[in-house]
Chain A
Amino acid sequence: DAGITQSPRHKVTETGTPVTLRCHQTENHRYMYWYRQDPGHGLRLIHYSYGVKDTDKGEVSDGYSVSRSKTEDFLLTLESATSSQTSVYFCATGQGIGTDTQYFGPGTRLTVL
């Protein structure tokens, strides 16, 4: 395993509140990713990072922001949570992009009421 942890593992929040999910890795991988997984949609990329302070948008980035101030930490923020953001969120890391293996964290189950 790539030594990836996510916190919190479960969270229930109310519509309109900000939420921050944290991903921490111990493998010194350059790339870090945030995905959401929903029934019928599979894994969808939200944002990814290719270095400290270097990030890019994925397929479903609206309503989400990210930050990476240290190699080992990648934060995902829902600026104003909506019920459509109820999902399971996975962090992943990898040494390269596109041709290298991605390793996944355990996931965070987020419920927005």
Chain B
Amino acid sequence: QKEVEQNSGPLSVPEGAIASLNCTYSDRGSQSFFWYRQYSGKSPELIMFIYSNGDKEDGRFTAQLNKASQYVSLLIRDSQPSDSATYLCAVGQAGTALIFGKGTTLSVSS
């Protein structure tokens, strides 16, 4: 069974620090990797996606993918209290539905 694993947290970081969120997946055929943010009581919203090994940066967010290690991470630089949320990792391949991890809760203290 295909699995996507995330540390449930909570991950607590002070304001201004770097938050590092990690995700591992079991299917070596996975092709696409997504990070969603979900505030309490709200629906998931896309932060970014990555398809190739290496880093992809978008503002304060950097996604890192290492297919050999079956590992994807999300770095949030200069963390803000507004970044406090649950972060969902999703993994997919063509023709099959995305598989979501259970999410990591991030708490940023001011």
Contacts and interface: CB of A to CB of B under 8 A. Distances in A.
A97 B95 contact: yes
A97 B97 contact: yes
A42 B43 contact: no
B78 interface: no
Contacts of A51: none
Given A99-B93, A104-B45, A43 B100 contact: yes
Interface residues of B, number: 24
Nearest to B86: A42
A3 B67 CA distance: 33
Contacts, number: 55
B49 A98 contact: no
Nearest to B43: A104
A74 interface: no
A98 B43 contact: no
B97 A106 contact: no
Contacts of A33: 97
B34 A98 contact: no
A18 to B, nearest CB: 25
- The 5 A-B residue pairs whose C-beta atoms are closest, nearest first, are A42-B102, A98-B92, A104-B43, A43-B100, A99-B32
